[in-house]
Structure 1
Amino acid sequence: LFATCKRFYDRCLELGILLPQRNFTLRYDTNIPRGLGLAGSSAIVTATLRALMEFYGLTEEQFGKPLLPNLVLSVETQELEITAGLQDRVIQVYGGAVYMDFDRERMERDGHGLYVPLDLSLFPPMYIATVKDPTDSGRIHSPVRVRWERGDTEVIEAMTQFAGFAEECRAALERHDIAQVNALMNANFDLRRRLYGDDVIGAANVRMVELARSHGASAKFSGSGGAIVGLYDDDTHFDELSASFAAHGFRIYKARVRDDQT
């Protein structure tokens, strides 16, 4: 919370926004499980930033909405030294479902990526499943980020493939090709597994994915490990998944995509 206040104040100074001297108290509560790669820490930062903006009567337009995720990210990377990326912060700022393109030329030119809200009616039923023992998602990011910064060819090529999956998935959703969406979600995890290796991915995470696929459901990481997301066909299919996941000590939930930031 303190780090968010500092970055908020710094950014206001940079934009020439003079904040009135007003006292406030910040408290937070969260129901996002810790350490499962579900963006719990950035959710607190984003909520705090929105509270500060509302308290001081500031709008997204004053900060530039596409740049707000950068501000959220800077709290974690600059103040708290947490390894992270923009994806979670973009969806928290925009809400709903968003197609994101982090083309390097665009990022260098505009300071942000291309963020396109998607029609929520395009999305089939989705589930989220989690392990019981969470891991530190920051450690999962670290090795690959270092390799990226060093210009590792394998990592750069993999990131290009991940971007391609996102583009293909958007097109598949728009033409209602759910089979292709399932295939792309599976391909996403398979590429990540090859890139990171099973020691980093973790046996429990691999087991969750294999379990989902054994029941005909797609599966990929929802974030950085500890939780997966995939598609299911109907309630009968979900009940089958639920029974199997519970029997193996995992938790599973129906996912709801909302068009706001709550």
Structure 2
Amino acid sequence: MTTQKMDTIEHKAYARIGFLGNPSDVYYGRTISFTLGNFWASVKLVPSKDLVIVPHPTNDLVQFQSLSNLVDRLESDGYYGGVRLLVAICKIFHNYCKENNINLHEGNFTLSYDTNIPRQTGLSGSSAIVCAALSCLLDFYKVRHLIKVEVRPQLILNAEKELGIVAGLQDRVAQVYGGLVYMDFSKKHMEELGYGIYEPMDIGLLPPLYLIYAENPSDSGKVHSTVRQRWLNGDEFIKSSMEEVANIALVGKTVLVEKDYDKLFHLMNGNFDLRRKMFGDDALGALNIEMVEVARRYGAASKFTGSGGAVVVYCPGGQSQARLLEDACTSAGFTFQPVKVMPSLLNEIDNGTMSSKA
């Protein structure tokens, strides 16, 4: 093995499914989420003379066939790409270490990334890139033991906030911890600690689940806007509904431990129904609603994985029901596949940084 190969650091971060309680994470609520092994982002760090951020050959296009080709690309994909995410986490990581008197050596590196997470599907593709990059930086600078696991999701979120990405902590917690995680974002915890209480759970508690997603869904970052303002204004309907959503995760924690999947069925459907009442059909989008409803027409429970673009499904009738639903999704132009749940990727050093063990 060459020296360069030995020095290369590579980390993956997986897509995530917001399973119960979302979107209450940005409203001092509770959620249960897990990492989805079907899709991931990987970041590679190689020591180098200069600090270099490498553009992705398809996600960071800077060369176009024509001016109209450039415009078409922007209209379909937006001003997206991973380079800006890598630059942002480098800045946030550097500033955090400086503020907390964590000394970083002077070495430079080259960062590159790849991802197969479908865009705008509410599966946290952007934060997966940032999460994987942060892991590389922790190892390159040998400071993994100095930055608590609980703090890392906030660093990832701060990097995305630098770029105007609207999001909450839930996704980043799931991706940092991996596996199945129960999260309590109560105001008391957030104000006292700066983060929530995060409890890893056994992934074996989950029943077989399925994923439905569309190739060209609406942007998942737009749906929080009016609800957020109404919540801040003290709107009683939004406040009480969001508390109900948060309570679904609290009840869901016990339901999963007891493997009461009949009750889980109703919790999943209830979670989406509350979201729909709060946000309204126009904000959720017809395509997103149809993904939920196609599953329900076949007797399955279904809800968004995030803010739209993909749906997580539980089929109480088992594989025969899932096969019927798969045919219906194919006819409707949706992708349907079994969910692969990834276990936690935290190592002994990570576990040693935690303030409290779940």
TM-score, normalised with respect to structure 2: 0.71
**Per-residue CA shift, 1:74-108, capped at 9, x if unaligned?**
1111x112110011000001000001111111111
CA contact (8 A) 1:83 1:138 kept: yes
What are the residue-to-residue correspondences of 1:42-57 with 2, within 5 Å? 42-57=127-142
TM-aligned CA deviation for residue 261 of structure 1: 4.4
TM-aligned CA deviation for residue 151 of structure 1: 2.9
* Residue identity opposite 2:243 in structure 1: T
Question: Which of 100, 108, 126 is matched with 1:23 structurally?
Answer: 108
Give the equivalent residue in structure 2 for 1:183.
Answer: 266
Alignment CA distance shift 1:261-1:155 (3 Å)? farther
Alpha-carbon distance between aligned partners in 2 of 1:187 and 1:43, rounded to the nearest angstrom = 28
Give the equivalent residue in structure 2 for 1:146.
Answer: 229
Alpha-carbon distance between aligned partners in 2 of 1:256 and 1:22, rounded to the nearest angstrom = 38
For the pair 1:40 / 2:110, whether they are aligned, the reply is: no
**Per-residue CA shift, 1:202-226, capped at 9, x if unaligned?**
1111111111011111000000101
Question: Which of 154, 157, 166 is matched with 2:240 structurally?
Answer: 157
TM-aligned CA deviation for residue 260 of structure 1: 3.0
TM-aligned CA deviation for residue 235 of structure 1: 2.3
Give the equivalent residue in structure 2 for 1:255.
Answer: 339
Alpha-carbon distance between aligned partners in 1 of 2:152 and 2:235, rounded to the nearest angstrom = 29
Question: Which of 69, 73, 78 is matched with 2:157 structurally?
Answer: 73
Alpha-carbon distance between aligned partners in 2 of 1:229 and 1:88, rounded to the nearest angstrom = 15
What are the residue-to-residue correspondences of 1:186-201 with 2, within 5 Å? 186-201=269-284
TM-aligned CA deviation for residue 253 of structure 1: 1.1
TM-aligned CA deviation for residue 256 of structure 1: 1.2
Greater helix share, structure number: 1
What are the residue-to-residue correspondences of 1:87-126 with 2, within 5 Å? 87-126=170-209
**Per-residue CA shift, 1:109-166, capped at 9, x if unaligned?**
1111111111111110001101232221111122222323333322222221111000
Alpha-carbon distance between aligned partners in 2 of 1:72 and 1:47, rounded to the nearest angstrom = 10
Identity of paired residues, percent?
46
For the pair 1:58 / 2:143, whether they are aligned, the reply is: yes
Query: Which ranges of structure 1 fall in alignment gaps of 5 or more residues?
Result: none
* Residue identity opposite 1:138 in structure 2: G
Q: Secondary structure at the match of 1:34?
A: coil
Give the equivalent residue in structure 1 for 2:325.
Answer: 241
Q: Could you say which structure has the larger radius of gyration? A: 2
CA contact (8 A) 2:214 2:310 kept: yes
**Per-residue CA shift, 1:37-56, capped at 9, x if unaligned?**
11000111111101111111
Alpha-carbon distance between aligned partners in 2 of 1:10 and 1:153, rounded to the nearest angstrom = 39
For the pair 1:232 / 2:315, whether they are aligned, the reply is: yes
Question: Which of 287, 294, 297 is matched with 1:211 structurally?
Answer: 294
Greater strand share, structure number: 2
Give the equivalent residue in structure 2 for 1:202.
Answer: 285
Query: Which ranges of structure 2 fall in alignment gaps of 5 or more residues?
Result: 1-85, 347-358
Instruction: Give me the CA root mean square deviation.
Output: 1.3
CA contact (8 A) 1:83 1:142 kept: no
Alpha-carbon distance between aligned partners in 1 of 2:229 and 2:147, rounded to the nearest angstrom = 30
